[in-house]
């Protein structure tokens, strides 16, 4: 049996494979895209939730944006102080992080608000809002209580209690996804350390508010008049708190006749 042909074929195949391997190695070396080590370090400092709460497509996108200086070291709402501090060291900057949690700007539970009709459609706030009349509740600004926000909360921080959404501040990681899906824009990201928030979003006049809800802001300005730091003001018949100067003294809550400030 002549083995010469077989040997030549083996040498040809082996040589071709070796040549291709060398060429691929050279191509990988000279054509590869260099990865910024800073981006890799920032990515490692992020929590890895890939929730999109930062506004970027996952942690990779945020890491690149921070490295380019487009976003500050505190760009991740989920990572909190630990993540921001670590990234600050990588970027060579000092960071002051304020933990934020979701707050539902509605106090109109089943006991304090009225219904125009019984809703029997899909259990979705967006779908209910599309029904003529803008949902079953009389207050057009109030929480529909169908749980669209709760359905997107990965930390199980939102529950529907007595017809309205309620946030567990300890479980909330501050990603802000719930605030973006709420069709009525009722969810505000507020400082965790602040003790008082206005649980209403109605811009109607006091008389109209009382007609549909017994727990809504009537724009009386009693909170505004008595606030020692001028941190609360009534605009469009609704009280707003400036958290940057609020000292959580509680005067506004004591003065509010509707007990809307919680």
The CATH number of whichever domain residue 204 belongs to comes to: 3.30.70.20
Q: Are residues 207 and 257 in the same domain?
A: yes
pLDDT band at 54 (very low <50, low <70, confident <90, very high): confident
CA distances to 174, 217, 243, 257 from 240, rounded to whole Å, are 20, 10, 9, 16
pLDDT value of position 122: 87
Burial of 120 (0-12, 13-18, 19+ CB in 10 A): exposed
Q: What are phi and psi of 125, to 5 degrees?
A: -65, -40
pLDDT band at 120 (very low <50, low <70, confident <90, very high): confident
pLDDT band at 153 (very low <50, low <70, confident <90, very high): very high
User: How many structural domains comprise the chain?
Assistant: 3
Q: Are residues 112 and 183 in the same domain?
A: yes
Q: Report residue 41 as tokens.
A: 């370090």
Residues in CB range of 91: below 8 A, 6 or more apart: 38, 42, 66, 67, 73
Q: Are residues 214 and 251 in the same domain?
A: yes
Summarised one tens digit per residue, pLDDT across range 156-206 is: 999 999 999 999 999 999 989 999 999 999 999 999 999 999 999 999 999
- Last residue of one domain, picked from the residues 155, 172, 193: 193
Its pTM stands at 0.74
Strands 158-161 and 164-167: antiparallel
In a domain, 13, yes or no: no
Summarised one tens digit per residue, pLDDT across range 223-246 is: 999 999 999 999 999 999 999 999
Q: What is the CATH number of the domain that holds 54?
A: 1.10.15.40
Give the residue numbers spanning the domain of 54: 37-91
- Last residue of one domain, picked from the residues 169, 193, 217: 193
- Last residue of one domain, picked from the residues 193, 226, 252: 193
């Amino acid at each position: 049996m002549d083995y010469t042909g077989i040997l030549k074929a083996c040498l040809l195949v082996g040589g071709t494979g070796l040549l291709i391997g060398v060429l691929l190695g050279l191509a990988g070396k000279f054509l590869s895209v260099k990865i910024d080590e800073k981006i890799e370090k920032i990515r490692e400092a992020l929590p890895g939730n890939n929730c999109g709460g930062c506004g970027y497509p996952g942690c990779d996108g945020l890491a690149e944006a921070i490295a380019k200086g487009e976003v500050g070291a505190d760009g991740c709402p989920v990572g909190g102080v630990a993540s921001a501090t670590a990234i600050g060291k990588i970027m060579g900057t000092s960071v002051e992080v304020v933990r934020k949690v979701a707050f539902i700007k509605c106090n109109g539970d089943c006991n304090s608000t009225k219904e125009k009709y019984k809703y029997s459609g899909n259990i979705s706030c967006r779908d209910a809002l599309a029904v003529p009349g803008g949902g079953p509740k009389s207050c057009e600004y109030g929480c529909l209580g169908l749980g669209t926000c709760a359905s997107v909360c990965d930390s199980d921080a939102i529950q529907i209690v007595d017809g309205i959404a309620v946030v567990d501040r300890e479980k909330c990681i501050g990603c802000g996804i719930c605030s973006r899906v709420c069709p009525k824009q009722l969810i505000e990201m507020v400082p965790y350390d602040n003790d008082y928030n206005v649980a209403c979003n109605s811009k109607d006049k006091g008389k109209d508010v009382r007609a549909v809800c017994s727990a809504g802001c009537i724009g009386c300005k009693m909170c505004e008049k008595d606030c020692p730091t001028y941190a609360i003001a009534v605009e469009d018949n609704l009280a707003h708190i400036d958290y940057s100067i609020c000292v959580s003294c509680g005067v506004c809550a004591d003065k509010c006749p509707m007990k809307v400030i919680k």
